[in-house]
């Protein structure tokens, strides 16, 4: 166990940032991994678990008790990767429903990343947080299907990260939503923030106390059914659960979405998960243009067939 006592000159700093900048500055450990260790209780303040955002005070005692080398991602060859395209820089995959992109804890072994490191071991050192998210530039929710791009080297990761930040990546999703939007095309510009309990995202307002971030989503109705619509959605920003929250905010939540449903809405018997599919992604990289698309999974197509027959 390593112990550190905070002196006056080191006070008024975030717990996690202090560890990254003062304790682990000369080691290959990311701030993301530091935050995970704090949450697991392997790094304590005054013998207690505390938030990564805790502001350090004089005479605080930090206790560090974990062996970074003993914790590594577990490769799992049984996680099948549907590779659409690959070259020396990227891998484009069609993510299936029901699988998380990366583990929350390193002892998990059934995520997309656990399969990726078997097939593409070079990504193990790629990214801002390669210990748990190697090569991952963007993510999809566990129950969202569709196209994803993974970086195979650090240069590509940095370039893609910059393009996502500068909104130079065009993404399109398809969603089955409740009802029929009055405006068949539209732009939703509503800032998002974490809820007070941090369990989901909300549209921010004047009383919001968590960090508020701008968010923009374009949509276009492509097909209508009796009580539902098929909508093409293009997020211009990449906030967590952005499409799901924005569609709910205009009164048309995604079918099957338990987290972001409207009160009193009828049950979607045809949908066992949120009906959201990442249809395509388009970008340029190192002078080459890429344009990938992913086919619907069976449950999404079955849902469309059901709605078509139902009128």
Give me the active site residues, please.
Answer: 141
Neighbours of 187 (CB within 10 A): 12
What spatial distance separates the first Cα and last Cα of the chain, rounded to whole Å? 66
DSSP one-letter string for 118-154: HH-GGGGG-SSSTTTSTTBSS---TT-EEEEEEESSH
Take residue 141 and report the two structure tokens written for it.
Answer: 């929710």
Planar angle of CA 166, 167, 170, nearest 5 degrees: 150
How far apart (Å, rounded) are the C-alpha atoms in residues 136 and 153? 11
Q: Assign 261 to helix, strand or coil.
A: coil
Residue among 87, 26, 143 at smallest CA distance from 290: 87
DSSP one-letter string for 222-248: EEE-SSEEEEEEEESS--TTHHHHHHH
CB 192 within 8 A of CB 201: yes
- Residues contacting residue 131 through CB under 8 Å, at least 6 positions apart: 29, 30, 32, 33, 71, 72, 73, 106
């Amino acid at each position: 166990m390593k112990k550190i006592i905070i002196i006056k000159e080191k006070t008024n700093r975030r717990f996690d940032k202090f560890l990254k900048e003062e304790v682990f500055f000369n080691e290959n450990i990311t701030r993301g991994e530091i935050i995970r260790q704090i949450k697991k209780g392997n790094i304590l303040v005054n013998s207690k678990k505390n938030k990564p955002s805790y502001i350090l005070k004089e005479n605080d005692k930090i206790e560090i008790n974990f062996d970074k080398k003993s914790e590594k991602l577990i490769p799992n060859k049984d996680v099948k990767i549907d590779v659409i395209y690959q070259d020396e820089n990227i891998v484009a995959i069609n993510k299936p429903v029901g699988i998380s992109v990366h583990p929350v804890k390193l002892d998990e072994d059934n995520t997309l990343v656990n399969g990726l490191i078997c097939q593409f071991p070079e990504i193990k050192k790629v990214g801002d947080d390669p210990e748990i998210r190697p090569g991952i530039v963007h993510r999809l929710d566990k129950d969202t299907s569709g196209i994803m791009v993974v970086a195979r080297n650090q240069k590509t990761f940095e370039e893609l990260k910059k393009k996502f930040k500068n909104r130079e990546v065009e993404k399109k999703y398809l969603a089955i939503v409740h009802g029929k939007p009055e405006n068949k095309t539209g732009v939703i510009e509503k800032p998002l923030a974490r809820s007070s309990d941090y369990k989901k995202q909300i549209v921010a307002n004047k009383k919001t106390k968590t960090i508020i971030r701008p968010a923009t989503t374009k949509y276009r109705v492509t097909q209508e059914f009796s009580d539902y619509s098929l909508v093409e959605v293009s997020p211009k920003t990449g906030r967590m659960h952005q499409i799901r929250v924005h569609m709910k905010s205009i009164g048309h939540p995604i079918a099957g979405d338990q987290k972001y449903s409207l009160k009193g809405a009828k049950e979607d018997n045809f949908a066992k998960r949120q009906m959201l599919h990442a249809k395509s992604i388009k970008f340029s990289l190192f002078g080459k243009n890429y344009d990938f698309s992913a086919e619907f999974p069976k449950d999404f197509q079955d849902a469309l067939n059901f709605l078509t027959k139902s009128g």
